């Protein structure tokens, strides 16, 4: 089971790149090993999950938690910006965005 789903260092590297996390090759190897161990443990769940137990994303059978479309009290621009490292003209200032035009 764990072998079939084995995580490679290459996959971890891909995920690290997507998550913008710089990792050394030692870290990639170690993380892949750790993840495989976790997967192997979690895989035991498959032994008890039978066809009549559907996959679920939410442990509590709750649906339709909805609110009415009524305006509350938004933050003021000052409050919104109060935690920002930098701002300009009432807007959040972020470093140069690279890549897409």
Partner 1 sequence: MKYEDAVATYDPALGIEVHVELGTATKMFDDAPNTFGGSANENTTPTSLGLPGALPVVNRMAIEYAIRIGLALGCQIAESCRFARKNYFYPDLAKNFQTSQADEPIAFDGSIDVELEDGTIVPVAIERAHMEEDAGKNTHVGGASGRIHGADHSLVDYNRAGVPLVEIVTHPITGVGDRAPEVAAAYVRTLRDIFRALGVSEARMEQGNVRADINVSLRKDADAPLGTRTETKNVNSFRSIDRAVRYEIARQAEILDQGGAIVQETRHFHESDGSTSSGRPKSDADDYRYFPEPDLVPVAPSRDWVEEIRAGLPELPAARRRRLLDDWGISELEIRDIINAGLLDPVEATVVAGATPDAARKWWMGEIARVAKQREVEADGLATPANVAELQQLIDDGKLNDKLARKVLAGVVEGRGTPSQVMEADGLQIVEDTGALEAAVDEAIAANPDVVEKIRGGKMQAVGALMGPIMKATRGQADAGTAREMILARING
Based on CB atoms, which residue is closest to partner 1, 9 or 81? 81
Q: What is the Cα 65 distance to its own chain's centre?
A: 23
For 44, how many CA atoms within 13 A lie in the half-sphere containing its CB? 5
Based on CB atoms, which residue is closest to partner 1, 18 or 47? 18
Q: Report if residue 53 touches partner 1, rule: CB under 8 A.
A: no
Query: What values do phi and psi take at 96, rounded to 5?
Result: -45, 130
DSSP label of 20: T
From the list 4-12, 30-38, 41-49, 92-100, the region that binds partner 1 by CB under 8 A is: 92-100
Neighbours of 9 (CB within 10 A): 17
Based on CB atoms, which residue is closest to partner 1, 26 or 89? 89
Interface residue with partner 1, options 25, 47, 75, 85 (CB under 8 A):
75
């Amino acid at each position: 089971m764990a072998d079939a789903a084995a995580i490679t260092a290459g996959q971890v590297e891909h995920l690290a790149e997507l998550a913008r996390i710089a990792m050394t090759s030692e870290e990639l190897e170690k993380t892949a090993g750790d993840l495989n161990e976790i997967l192997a443990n979690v895989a035991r769940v498959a032994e008890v999950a039978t066809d009549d137990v559907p996959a679920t994303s939410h442990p509590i059978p709750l649906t339709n938690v909805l609110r009415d479309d009524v305006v509350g009290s938004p933050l003021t621009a000052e409050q919104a910006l109060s935690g920002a490292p930098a701002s300009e003209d009432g807007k959040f200032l972020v470093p140069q965005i690279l890549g897409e035009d």
